[in-house]
Amino acid sequence: MAAAPPSDNRNFFERLLNLRPVAPSGPVLAYAPSSGGLGNGRSLNDAGGTAPRITMPIPNRTPPHGTAIYDIRARTVYLPNGERLEAHSGLGERMDDPRHAHVRMHGPTPPHVYDLTEREQRFHGVRAIRLNPVGGSRAIHGRAGLLAHTYLLGPRGDSNGCLSIKDYDRFLQAYLRGEVRRLVVVAGT
C-alpha cells in the first residue's frame, strides 16, 4: 500500500506565492489578548491549534514575477526586483493599522490580492493605478475605488484607504514596464 502524500499546510499567501514555511532561527514569540481568546469568543485551539507563521516578506526573498507585496505594518511595498518603497494607507490614527481595514474612507487597504490596471483618467493630476480585488469588492468588506498613488493628503502619506507610495514614480514605472501586474496586501507582523 502506498503512503498518503503529505498535506499542504501552507497558508493562502504561501500557496499563492509558492513559498515554503521557514523554520524559526530562534525562539518564536506569540501574543494573545488579555481576555485569553482571539477577540471573537474562540480560543487559539478553536482556530486550529497553531497561529499561522507569516514568512513573506523577508529580506532575502523577492516576490514572484509580476507581483508586488505591500506589508501594511512594515509600511513597505516590495517590488519583484527586490526594491523596497515606503508606503502607507489609511487616514489619521487608523493609518497603517490593519485592524481598521474594514473602515471605509479611513482604514488601510484591506489585506487581499489585487490585479492592477491604470486608472482611465488622472486622479488629482496623478497617473494612478487601480487596485481591482480578485473576487470583487465583497472580498474586501465592500470597499471600492482603491488606488495606488503618490502622497496626496500631506507629507505623512495619509489616504482614504488607497495605497500611498512615497516614491510612487518608481512603482508606476515598474508597472508601465510590465514588471508589476498584481499586488498582494498583507497585514504584516
User: Is 27 within the bounds of a domain?
Assistant: no
Query: Residues 147, 77, 27, 17: what is their CA dihedral angle, to the nearest 10 degrees?
Result: 80
| Count of alpha carbons within 13 angstroms of residue 181, beta-carbon side | 6
Does some domain include residue 20?
A: no
Distance between start and end Cα atoms, the chain = 43
CATH of the domain at 132: 2.40.440.10
85 assigned to some structural domain:
yes
Binned at pLDDT 50, 70 and 90, residue 169 comes out as very high
Q: Look up the domain containing 164 and give its range.
A: 63-186
Residue 1 lies in a domain: no
Q: Is residue 13 part of a domain?
A: no
Residue 42 lies in a domain: no
pLDDT confidence tier of residue 161, bands split at 50, 70 and 90: confident
| CB half-sphere exposure, 44, CA atoms < 13 A | 11
> Whole-prediction pTM value?
0.65
Q: Which residues contact 11 (CB under 8 A, 6 or more apart)?
A: 52, 54
Q: Of the ranges 74-83, 85-94, 165-174, which one carries the lowest mean pLDDT score?
A: 85-94
| Higher pLDDT among residues 168 and 157, named by residue | 168
Q: What is the mean pLDDT of residues 44-52?
A: 40
